[in-house]
Amino acid sequence: MVLSPWHTNQLAVIEALAKSIPHDAILVVKENPAMLGLRPKDFYETICSFPRVVLINPYSSGLNWIKKTDMTVVITGTAAWEALRLKKPVIVIGDSPFLHVGEGVIIEPCLSNLNIAIQNAFKIKPASDEAIIKLLWRH
C-alpha cells in the first residue's frame, strides 16, 4: 500500500466497487496469500456480506480468474500486468508508476467515480504489446 496511502481501507474500496459494477456483474475478490493471518476474520466476513461479491481461494491462480473476467481492478497490484497481457481493460485505483501504460488502463483514484471508470473501461482500446514493452523499458 506504499504506492497508495489514500487507499489503505481495502473494505471501503471493495464496497465502492460492489456498488459501482453493473447490476448483472459479480465482483471477484482475491486476497494476497501473504496477507493471510494478518487480518481479522470479520474482514473476510464483511467482504462476503457485500451483494454480488465473491471471495475466492487466495491460492487459486489469479491468471485463470483474470482470463474469465471482463476487466481487472487493482489498487496497485500485479494482477494488472496479467490483465494487460491478456488484453483485458484495467482500472488502477492507486498510484503505481508501473501501470501508466496509456493504453488499456484507466487511472481512477476517486472511489465515487468508479461507476464512470467501469463504464469507460468497457470502451477503451487494449494495451498494445508495443506500449507495454515501452513501459517496461522505462522502468
Least Cα distance to 134 among 110, 105, 100 occurs for 100
74-78, 105-109, 115-119 — which is least confidently predicted?
74-78
Task: Categorise residue 66: left if φ over 0, alpha if ψ from -120 to 50, beta otherwise.
Answer: alpha
pLDDT at 114 over 90: yes
Residue 73 C-alpha cell reads as 481492478
Query: Would you kindly state where each structural domain of the chain is located, as residue ranges?
Result: 5-138
Extended strands (E) in 1-139:
27-30, 53-56, 72-74, 90-92, 105-107
pLDDT tier at 134, thresholds 50, 70, 90: confident
Q: What is the largest CA-CA distance in the chain?
A: 44
Amino acid at 48: C
pLDDT score, position 94: 85
- Average pLDDT for residues 55-62, to the nearest whole number? 96
CATH match of 5-138 with 3.40.50.2000 = yes
pTM of the prediction? 0.89
Phi first, then psi, for residue 46 (nearest 5°) are -65, -45
pLDDT score, position 77: 80
